[in-house]
């Protein structure tokens, strides 16, 4: 069964916006991102700088390719792979007991320590990217379909932002209520 194009396009737009936003955070504060990447201790020190330069370019390229129907399938699979790679890096450091490092997820304005909930978040994002990789059922799209597609992508991004904000601030909230 092929999904409706609304689901495919909305998923692609949501993942594209997330990746483009992540890339801009990294470009705005390259030294901070380089430090965050080095803190994961998964790369030899000599590779941290070039990889830190490459990742935002890769995120931007995938984000733009997600918006083009011809390249959407491969871009969505690339996005799923990249998000799974990020989850693996988080998982490895959680397994090592290194919860005190900044995940690099919240951009340059807010630190977010590693927690298992980030693995769940990335799993949902991988699923969304994989949905965007599917071939939709062929049908004509109306103006209403375009509106519903954009509204669906916006709702998905708002849910993501709310969940991510809650996850980022949960240690502060727990401290505030005395737990």
Residue 6 has pLDDT above 80, yes or no: yes
Q: What is the pLDDT of residues 125-177, one digit of tens each?
A: 999 999 999 988 888 889 998 999 999 999 998 988 888 877 777 777 777 77
**How far is residue 98's CA from residue 166's CA, in Å, rounded to a whole number?**
21
Mean pLDDT, rounded, for 81-96? 95
Q: What is the pLDDT of residues 35-68, one digit of tens each?
A: 999 999 999 999 999 999 999 999 999 999 999 9
Q: Which residues contact 78 (CB under 8 A, 6 or more apart)?
A: 62, 65
Note the pLDDT of residue 137.
84
Note the pLDDT of residue 163.
83
Domains held by the chain: number? 1
Note the pLDDT of residue 108.
64
Top pLDDT among 106 and 148 is at 148
Place of tokens 């491969």: 74
Give CA angle at 71 (155, 66), nearest 5°: 20
Tokens representing 6? 């609304």
**Domain containing residue 116:** 5-176
Note the pLDDT of residue 172.
72
């Amino acid at each position: 069964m092929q999904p409706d194009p609304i689901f495919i396009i909305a998923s692609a737009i949501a993942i594209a916006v997330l990746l483009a936003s992540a890339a801009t955070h990294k470009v705005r504060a390259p030294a901070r991102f380089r430090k965050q990447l080095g803190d994961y201790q998964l790369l030899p020190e000599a590779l941290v700088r070039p990889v830190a330069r490459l990742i935002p370019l890769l995120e931007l390229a995938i984000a733009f390719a997600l918006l083009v129907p011809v390249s959407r399938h491969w871009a969505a699979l690339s996005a799923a792979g990249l998000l799974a790679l990020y989850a693996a890096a988080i998982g490895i450091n959680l397994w090592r007991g290194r919860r005190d490092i900044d995940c690099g997820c919240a951009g340059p304005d807010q630190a977010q320590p590693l927690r298992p909930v980030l693995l769940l978040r990335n799993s949902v994002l991988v699923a969304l990217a994989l949905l965007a990789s599917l071939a939709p059922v062929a049908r004509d799209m109306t103006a209403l379909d375009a509106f519903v597609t954009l509204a669906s992508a916006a709702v998905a991004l708002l849910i993501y932002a709310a969940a991510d904000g809650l996850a980022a601030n949960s240690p502060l909230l727990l401290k505030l209520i005395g737990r």
